[in-house]
């Protein structure tokens, strides 16, 4: 059991990322002590469901879970993709499952066409617009042009009833080497405010709240209303807003949020607008929630040096964990050096790609 | 006592990130130079103690969600703080296209 061939990790931290990195690198991993001190130890429903999804999207993977569920051994197979329908347990929204799929989908044998059913919004995980307008543009920058997330039904928490369709048609051999040394300028702010099974006035009130904050920002602000009614609006009432700041070159920063019962729509709108400004101030080329995807794509790029400008505030615990896990699995380190500009504290993250090639595709 | 303060090293974040015996939260603290009263002077041997206490400590001290890192949404300050911070857009002005236009937009 204790063969040193496994890269061993402890705790449930970044569980999805570990599985994704292991799959991309082809290295078996062992995750131990998953909530071993918890009253209810072991993997949660959503993690098991995620493993099932991984099993469906790959061929030849083997997953061993210990009796208590506190240890998982994962031996990755090849990424096969294809058509699949995944029923997401209600604890986590579809974004939780879609997000890791984005890391794998471009390097699959067949095109990804996966339908996810479940809750489509939450406070913590990626919302639909965040994926569509936040993460997919990043993939585009790395050469994954044809990917889309179609919203067939929205389903607010707690009951859900939403349905989304993830389609990734570009299968690429490896991501393009990134050179992004300048912080892009934002040319417009877009957004969407949506609601399911509540009065459409909620949507307009959220837009008002956000607009008020962004009134003097100096660029075009365009927030659309997206009201869902009838069968396609899921089983629960809910509402939320996503704001995206975009540059001419296609970089995006975003913030998103949903309202709970008792929240004032204007406040949520304003809060998300403030969060967008905060996110812009903390980001260089990519936002904090986009950083992991960008870094991973840089790591699995060509054997060439990729460069990405980041800010000081983007170096947080999450970033350090990411880099440590990448080092443990891929053996690659990220070098950080300050930018030449004296006015700025930004850093350039320099990464040499591991020369990953999409072997899955060649076999087909 | 003064000496210990001056001896505080300026940490190189590039190295700190890959020092596996230092927990990420400590990395950040050291790098940002946040004063941590407990480990003011004992850098070297503290690392190991840190290492041992962190493992059990991380699970019990922090809420599980914090440790999870599965959260997609980054951390933001409270509404009030954000509101007072962003009463104007001066700090991100350079990032916005078209702010070279009349500066009156800020008033």
- Read off the pLDDT of residues A181-191 as tens digits, 9 standing for 90 and up: 999 999 999 99
Q: Coil, strand, or helix at residue A258?
A: strand
pLDDT tops 70 at residue B83: yes
Nearest to A255 by CA among B93, B76, B19: B76
Token pair belonging to A214 = 């962004």
List the single best residue of B10, B34, B72, B89 to mutate versus A (max A Cβ within 10 A): B72
- Residues A117, A163: Cα–Cα separation, whole Å: 4
The predicted pLDDT at position B53 comes to 47
pLDDT bin (cut points 50, 70, 90) of residue B107 is very low
- Interface touch B27/A10, C-beta < 8 Å: no
Q: Is B90 on the interface with A (CB under 8 A)?
A: no
What value does the mean pLDDT of chain A take? 93
How big is chain A by its Cα radius of gyration, in Å?
20
How big is chain B by its Cα radius of gyration, in Å?
20
Domains and their CATH numbers in chain A: 7-179 (3.65.10.20), 186-282 (3.30.360.20), 286-355 (3.30.110)
Task: Please report the ipTM that was assigned to this predicted complex.
Answer: 0.83
- Interface touch A317/B76, C-beta < 8 Å: no
Please report the number of interchain residue pairs, chain A to chain B, with beta-carbon separation below 8 angstroms. Answer: 132
Token pair belonging to A234 = 């899921």
Nearest CA in chain A to B95: A185
pLDDT tens digits for A30-71?
999 999 988 999 999 999 999 999 999 999 999 999 999 999
User: What is the average per-residue pLDDT within A5-19?
Assistant: 91
- Interface touch A281/B92, C-beta < 8 Å: yes
pLDDT tens digits for B8-45?
567 788 888 998 888 888 888 888 877 554 444 444 44
The predicted pLDDT at position A361 comes to 74
- The CA distance from A362 to the nearest CA of chain B, in Å, is 33
pLDDT tens digits for A218-270?
889 999 999 999 999 999 999 999 999 999 999 999 999 999 989 999 999 99
Q: Are A101 and A112 in contact (CB under 8 A)?
A: yes
**Alpha-carbon distances, residue A135 vs A143, A221, A288, A297 (angstroms):** 13, 21, 11, 12
Per 3-state DSSP, chain B is made up of helix, strand and coil in percentages (nearest 5) of 60, 0, 40
Token pair belonging to B95 = 């990032």
The predicted pLDDT at position A286 comes to 95
pLDDT tens digits for A73-104?
999 999 999 999 999 999 999 999 999 999 99
Q: Which of A94-98, B57-61, B66-70, B80-84 has the lowest mean pLDDT?
A: B57-61
Token pair belonging to B57 = 């400590």
């Amino acid at each position: 059991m204790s063969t040193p061939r496994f890269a061993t990790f402890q705790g449930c931290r970044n569980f999805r990322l570990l599985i994704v990195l292991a799959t991309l690198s082809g290295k078996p991993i062992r995750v131990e002590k998953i909530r071993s001190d918890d009253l209810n130890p072991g993997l949660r429903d959503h993690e098991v469901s995620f493993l099932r999804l991984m099993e469906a999207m790959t061929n030849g993977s083997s997953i061993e879970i210990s009796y208590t569920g506190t240890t998982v051994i994962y031996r990755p197979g090849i990424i096969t993709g294809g058509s699949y329908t995944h029923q997401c347990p209600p604890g986590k929204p579809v974004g939780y499952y879609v997000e890791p799929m984005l890391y794998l989908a471009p390097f699959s044998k067949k095109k990804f066409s996966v339908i996810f059913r479940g809750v489509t919004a939450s406070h913590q995980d990626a919302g639909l617009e965040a994926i569509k307008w936040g993460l997919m543009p990043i993939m585009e920058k790395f050469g994954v042009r044809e990917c889309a997330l179609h919203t067939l039904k929205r389903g607010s928490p707690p009951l859900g009833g939403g349905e989304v369709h993830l389609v990734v048609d570009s299968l690429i051999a490896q991501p393009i080497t990134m050179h992004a040394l300048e912080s892009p300028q934002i040319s417009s702010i877009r957004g969407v405010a949506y609601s399911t099974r509540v009065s459409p006035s909620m949507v307009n009130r959220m837009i008002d709240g956000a607009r008020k904050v962004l009134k003097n920002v100096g660029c075009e602000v365009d927030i659309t209303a997206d009201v869902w009614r009838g069968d396609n609006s899921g089983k629960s009432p809910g509402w939320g807003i996503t704001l995206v700041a975009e540059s001419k070159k296609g970089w995006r920063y975003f913030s998103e949020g949903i309202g709970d019962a008792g929240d004032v729509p204007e406040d949520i709108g304003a809060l998300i607008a403030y969060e967008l400004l905060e996110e812009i101030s903390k980001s260089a080329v990519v936002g904090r929630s986009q950083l992991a995807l960008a870094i991973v794509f840089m790591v699995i790029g060509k054997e060439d040096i990729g460069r990405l400008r980041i800010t000081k505030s983007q170096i947080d615990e999450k970033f350090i964990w990411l880099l440590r896990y990448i080092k443990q699995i891929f053996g690659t380190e990220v070098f950080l050096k300050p930018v030449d500009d004296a006015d700025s504290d930004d850093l350039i993250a320099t990464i040499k790609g591991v020369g990953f090639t999409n072997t899955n595709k060649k076999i087909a | 006592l003064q000496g210990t303060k001056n001896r505080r090293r300026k940490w190189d974040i590039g190295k700190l990130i890959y020092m596996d015996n230092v927990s990420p939260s400590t990395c950040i603290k050291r790098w940002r130079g946040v004063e941590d009263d407990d480990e003011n002077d004992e850098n070297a041997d503290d690392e190991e103690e840190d290492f041992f206490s962190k493992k059990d400590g991380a699970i019990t001290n922090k809420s599980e969600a914090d440790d999870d890192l599965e959260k997609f949404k980054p951390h933001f300050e409270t509404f009030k703080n954000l509101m007072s911070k962003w009463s104007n857009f001066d700090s991100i002005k350079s990032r916005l296209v078209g702010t070279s236009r009349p500066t009156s937009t800020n008033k």
